[in-house]
Amino acid sequence: MQQLEPFDLILFGGTGDLAMRKLMPALYRRVSAGQITAGSRIIAVARSNHTRDGFLAELEAKCRPHLGAEEFTAEHWQTFVALVDYLSVNATVPEDFDRLAAKLKGSEDRVRVMFLSMAPNLFTSTCENLSRAQIVTPQSRVVLEKPLGQDRASAEAINQLVGSIFEEKQIYRIDHYLGKETVQNLIALRFGNMLFEPLWRRGRISHVQITVGEHVGAEGRGEFYNQTGAMRDMVQNHMLQLLCILAMEPPASADADAMRDEKLKVLRALKPMSELDVQQKTVRGQYRAGAVEGKPVPGYLQEPGVPPGSMTETFVALKAEINTWRWAGVPFYLRTGKHMADGARIVSIAFREPPKSMFPAGS
């Protein structure tokens, strides 16, 4: 495995759920595999007024449960945390970024990654303050974690502001769901096996179902989740990415731009929904108090940070249609929800029944 040159990773939202459950465990694995070596720095940034020792204690309590027993060793953990630092920064306070600039001083020639694992309404102020404090260098990268805004107008505003500070080649808009093995396997299934290509179309496929169930609920993220909901949190990014992989035409290469171009064709071919379609082809709901795997859970409206009477959805199901020659008339059913009894992620391709069965009914 290729070792990386020393770099600085500044993780905004460093105390957040995504950082503790996904990002920090992933970085630990890269350190334990020898890909990230001594000299690199992982600087967690958040509003919490932690000392470094206090943050490392929280990191161990929240991150370690997401590492398998077979991959965790005390030696690797100590090597990992030796690279980790913490700095309290409020994304809306310009003066806080001066302290970050001071911590980074002297490392302007190395790769500097700003990973924004935070609410999208903080993207612009964070980038503006990074620029004001002269933290952005030619070797810098900025990673924008989904969702990218609340609607089209806010997404365009974010892209415009970030693009005025970083060159396009420095900007990484990511969807961490695409890193899952199941998603990667879908690409291999579709484009690495000629057996399926003649069957992957209308006339052969009856319908497609994409289901993403989650055992967890809002669980301490009520304030964030209430501004997002299942539609923005899962459907408009993760699930549409899965739909694009399933429905897109074979790209000319595995190049990122070629893949993106084919995905865009699918998104542009999605049939728009009228108000009547929304009533007939979509379902929204919230989880109530109950039990998951035998453990009692509160209802969504009882979660900390969720205002009384919130209408934010925690479950969404919809029927999508793609107006292309390959997929016209084939419905794509998407459904996702929190605190579901079944936490499975399933992509189901239903092929059409043969015109006549040689087997008796019920056999």
CB 113 within 8 A of CB 136: no
Lowest-confidence range among 20-24, 174-178, 285-289, 316-320? Answer: 174-178
Residue 180: pLDDT over 80: no
Residue with tokens 């001083």: 105
pLDDT band at 196 (very low <50, low <70, confident <90, very high): confident
pLDDT at 92: 93
Work out the pLDDT band at 353, boundaries 50, 70, 90.
confident
CA distances from residue 292 to 225, 228, 302 in whole angstroms, order as listed: 20, 23, 16
Query: Which residue out of 66, 76, 207, 238 is catalytically annotated?
Result: 238
- Does the pLDDT value for residue 313 go beyond 70? yes
The pTM (predicted TM-score) of the whole model is 0.81
Task: Output the CA torsion 287→233→344→347 (10° steps).
Answer: 130
Counting beta carbons within 10 angstroms of the beta carbon of residue 110, is it exposed (0 to 12), middle (13 to 18) or buried (19 or more)? middle
Whether 195 has a pLDDT exceeding 90, the answer reads no
Helix H or strand E segment including 262: helix 256-269
The mean per-residue pLDDT over the stretch 196-209 comes to: 93
DSSP state of 209: E
Mean per-residue pLDDT, 303-316: 93
Q: For position 88, what pLDDT does the model report? A: 95
The pLDDT of residue 218 is above 70: yes
Annotated catalytic residue 238: yes
Assign residue 152 a region (left: φ > 0; alpha: ψ between -120 and 50; beta: otherwise). alpha
Q: pLDDT-based confidence at 362, cuts 50/70/90?
A: low
Q: Write the pLDDT tens digit of every residue in 240-295.
A: 999 999 999 999 888 888 988 999 999 999 999 999 999 999 999 999 998 766 77
| For range 225-237, the mean pLDDT | 89
pLDDT digit string (tens) for 62-96?
A: 998 899 888 899 999 999 999 999 999 999 999 99
Instruction: Give residue 363's pLDDT band: very low, low, confident or very high (50, 70, 90).
Output: low
Which pLDDT does position 181 carry in this prediction?
A: 73
The reported pLDDT for the residue numbered 221 is 80
Q: Which of 44-53, 125-134, 163-172, 182-191 has the lowest mean pLDDT?
A: 182-191
Of the pLDDT bands very low, low, confident and very high (cuts 50, 70, 90), residue 1 is low
pLDDT at residue 163 tops 80:
yes
Under the phi-then-psi rule, with left for phi > 0, alpha for psi from -120 to 50, and beta for the rest, what region is 51?
A: beta
